[in-house]
């Protein structure tokens, strides 16, 4: 661990050695006046700097019930070092932490900074995090909504600041086709899509979104092994998993022992008339049209029972007021022109409100139960 890391948070600047010297984080001067988010973040920094050997981490709850899992310090250190070496990060690089530090993505941003000696600027999650930052940033991790909001904003400072960075990670949710094109058109700084989950201690693979090396193929980080099971789902093994094989429900196309294409989650595959439709991929293709025609803020695709097809592909939208006929017709026309006939949803279903996980992700199975309740 590098000594003397600066932590800037809530208009205060702390030295890592100062945090480490405290008996308890509550002993920090004026601690009780800090926001709960800042207290949470500094508590993790104190635990890390004090040498805590394991950490309880919240899973996001997007694919099931949110839970806490135990991850060792060594797993987190190996994950941090793999990212640092892959991206060529150096001590002194300025890192921006603007994703939730209650979850693995935010915690690992803190660990990378504390382990390498990157000064950390920490702000609560917001749609345009660079609004709150004055100093130049070399490295950050964003969710797609944050990057999308800044690229679409009128403020030229956002794009200037983003293009000055050495590396930008984007994860936490799939990147839709429209955002990917915007990144390629507007950003020269290296932008990487991440693949991983809480159980793999954040990402274990990256793919370059922009520049000459842009690709739809993920490359695993150093020290990570991958293989497929009989369902074509990826398994992961490495120091980040305690050298144990970790089985996922993510269907991939493996190109070799280090490279794969992500196709979608097994849970979200719709088998319609014998044709397998990957809902995750289709949602990325649909996103630009959903936005352009102002269909809904949130949506997802799902297979619902059908006597003829077994499952029919349905578009589920979150919308309180009724969808206008012209909007619906525009969307259907676009889908028929852009998608394969099998990929066009057979029905558009509206719900006033989705069920979300604590981290804001759609809980699909729970939301679909609302449809069953409505039909009774």
Specify the pLDDT at position 190. 98
Work out whether the CA dihedral 104, 105, 110, 114 comes out positive or negative: positive
For the chain, what is the total number of helices (H) and then of strands (E)? Answer: 10, 20
Specify the pLDDT at position 64. 55
Which residues are 307's β-sheet partners? none
Pair (255, 282) in one structural domain: no
Q: With respect to residue 1, please indicate whether it lies within any of the assigned structural domains.
A: no
Give yes or no for residue 237 having a pLDDT over 60. Answer: yes
Pair (242, 285) in one structural domain: no
Give backbone dihedrals phi and psi of 313, rounded to 5 degrees, phi first: -75, 125
Give backbone dihedrals phi and psi of 263, rounded to 5 degrees, phi first: -105, -30
Of 131, 193, 195, 141, the residue nearest 165 (C-alpha): 141
Task: In whole angstroms, give the CA distance from residue 87 to residue 169.
Answer: 10
Q: With respect to residue 121, please indicate whether it lies within any of the assigned structural domains.
A: yes
Task: In whole angstroms, give the CA distance from residue 198 to residue 69.
Answer: 8
Q: With respect to residue 88, please indicate whether it lies within any of the assigned structural domains.
A: yes
**Domain termination residue (choose one: 265, 300, 320):** 265
Work out whether the CA dihedral 242, 243, 248, 250 comes out positive or negative: positive
Specify the pLDDT at position 22. 96
Specify the pLDDT at position 208. 98
Q: Which 8-state DSSP code applies to residue 324?
A: P
186: which 2 tokens? 């507007």
Residue-range definition of the domain harbouring residue 350: 273-375
Q: With respect to residue 284, please indicate whether it lies within any of the assigned structural domains.
A: yes
Task: In whole angstroms, give the CA distance from residue 111 to residue 44.
Answer: 9
Pair (241, 278) in one structural domain: no
Coil, helix or strand at residue 266: helix
Residues shown for the chain: 376
Give backbone dihedrals phi and psi of 278, rounded to 5 degrees, phi first: -90, 100
Coil, helix or strand at residue 16: helix
**Domain termination residue (choose one: 218, 249, 265):** 265
Q: 């920094």: which residue's tokens?
A: 45
Which residues are 15's β-sheet partners? 6
Across the range 356-364, mean pLDDT stands at 85
Q: With respect to residue 368, please indicate whether it lies within any of the assigned structural domains.
A: yes
Task: In whole angstroms, give the CA distance from residue 84 to residue 87.
Answer: 5
**Domain termination residue (choose one: 197, 230, 265):** 265
Across the range 166-195, mean pLDDT stands at 95
CATH classification of the domain holding 281 = 3.30.300.30
Give yes or no for residue 18 having a pLDDT over 60. Answer: yes
DSSP strands (E only) in the chain = 6-9, 12-15, 54-58, 68-72, 95-97, 120-122, 139-142, 167-170, 191-197, 202-208, 218-220, 224-228, 233-238, 246-256, 259-265, 269-272, 275-278, 298-306, 310-318, 347-351
Per-residue exposure over 216-247, b if at least 16 CB sit within 10 Å of its own CB, e if not: eebbbbebbebeeeeeebbebbbbbbeeeebe
Pair (252, 370) in one structural domain: no
Q: With respect to residue 65, please indicate whether it lies within any of the assigned structural domains.
A: yes
Q: Which range (45-54, 138-147, 170-179, 189-198) has the least confidence?
A: 170-179
The number of folded domains in the chain is 2
Pair (249, 306) in one structural domain: no
User: What is the distance of C-alpha 359 from the center of its chain?
Assistant: 10
Give yes or no for residue 3 having a pLDDT over 70. Answer: no
Task: In whole angstroms, give the CA distance from residue 330 to residue 293.
Answer: 7
Pair (279, 232) in one structural domain: no
Give yes or no for residue 360 having a pLDDT over 60. Answer: yes
Pair (149, 251) in one structural domain: yes
Q: With respect to residue 215, please indicate whether it lies within any of the assigned structural domains.
A: yes
Give yes or no for residue 63 having a pLDDT over 60. Answer: no
Q: Return the axis-axis angle of helices 177-186 and 279-292, rounded to nearest 10°.
A: 70
Q: Could you tell me the pTM of the whole model?
A: 0.91
Tell me the pLDDT tens digit for each residue of 118-167: 999 999 999 999 999 999 999 999 999 999 999 999 889 999 999 999 99
Give yes or no for residue 291 having a pLDDT over 60. Answer: yes
Pair (183, 86) in one structural domain: yes
Pair (63, 156) in one structural domain: yes
Of 156, 206, 207, 215, the residue nearest 186 (C-alpha): 156
364: which 2 tokens? 């699909």
Q: Which 8-state DSSP code applies to residue 362?
A: B
Q: Which range (67-71, 91-95, 215-219, 329-333) has the least confidence?
A: 67-71
CATH classification of the domain holding 61 = 3.40.50.12780
Q: Which 8-state DSSP code applies to residue 33?
A: G
Pair (12, 159) in one structural domain: yes
Work out whether the CA dihedral 31, 33, 36, 37 comes out positive or negative: negative
Of the pLDDT bands very low, low, confident and very high (cuts 50, 70, 90), residue 374 is low
Q: Which range (203-212, 241-250, 351-360) has the least confidence?
A: 351-360
Q: With respect to residue 168, please indicate whether it lies within any of the assigned structural domains.
A: yes
Of the pLDDT bands very low, low, confident and very high (cuts 50, 70, 90), residue 61 is low
Which residues are 252's β-sheet partners? 262
Pair (226, 308) in one structural domain: no
Give yes or no for residue 48 having a pLDDT over 90. Answer: yes
- Between strands 6-9 and 12-15, the pairing is antiparallel
Specify the pLDDT at position 160. 96
Tell me the pLDDT tens digit for each residue of 325-338: 999 999 999 999 99
Coil, helix or strand at residue 249: strand
Specify the pLDDT at position 58. 82
Mean pLDDT of the chain: 93
Q: Taking a C-beta distance cutoff of 8 angstroms, is the pair 36, 9 a contact?
A: no
Query: What CA–CA distances, in Å, run from 293 to 238, 297, 318, 320?
Result: 44, 11, 14, 16
């Amino acid at each position: 661990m590098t000594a003397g890391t600066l932590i800037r948070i809530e208009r205060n600047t702390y030295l890592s050695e100062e945090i480490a010297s405290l008996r308890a984080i509550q002993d920090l001067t004026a601690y009780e006046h800090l926001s709960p988010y800042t207290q949470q973040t500094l508590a993790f920094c104190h635990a890390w700097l004090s040498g805590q050997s394991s950490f309880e981490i919240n899973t996001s709850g997007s694919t099931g019930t949110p839970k806490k899992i135990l991850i060792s310090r060594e797993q987190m250190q190996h994950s941090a070092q793999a990212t640092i070496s892959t991206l060529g990060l150096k001590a002194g690089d300025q890192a921006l932490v603007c994703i939730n530090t209650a979850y693995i993505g935010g915690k690992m941003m803190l660990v990378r900074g504390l382990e390498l000696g990157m000064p950390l600027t920490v702000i609560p999650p917001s749609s345009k995090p660079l609004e709150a930052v004055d100093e130049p940033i070399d490295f950050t991790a964003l969710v797609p909504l944050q990057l999308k909001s800044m690229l679409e904003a009128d403020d030229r400072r956002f794009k200037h600041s983003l293009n000055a960075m050495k590396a930008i990670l984007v994860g936490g949710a799939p990147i839709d086709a429209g955002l990917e094109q915007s990144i390629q058109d507007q950003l020269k700084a290296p932008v990487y899509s991440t693949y991983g989950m809480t159980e793999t201690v954040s990402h274990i693979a990256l793919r370059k979104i922009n520049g000459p090396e842009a690709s739809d193929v993920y490359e695993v980080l150093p020290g990570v092994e991958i293989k497929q099971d009989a369902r074509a789902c990826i398994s992961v093994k490495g120091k980040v998993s305690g050298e144990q094989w970790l089985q996922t429900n993510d269907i991939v196309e493996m190109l070799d022992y280090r490279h794969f294409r992500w196709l979608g989650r097994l849970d979200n595959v719709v088998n319609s008339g014998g044709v397998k439709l990957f809902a995750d991929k289709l949602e990325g293709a649909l996103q630009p049209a959903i936005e352009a025609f102002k269909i809904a803020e949130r949506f997802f695709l799902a297979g619902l029972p059908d006597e003829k097809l077994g499952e029919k592909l349905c578009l589920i939208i979150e919308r309180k007021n009724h969808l206008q006929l012209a909007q619906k017709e525009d969307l259907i026309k676009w889908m028929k022109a852009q998608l394969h006939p099998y990929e066009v949803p057979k029905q558009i279903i509206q719900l006033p409100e989705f069920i979300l996980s604590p981290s804001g992700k759609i809980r699909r199975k729970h939301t679909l139960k609302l449809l069953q309740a409505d039909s009774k």
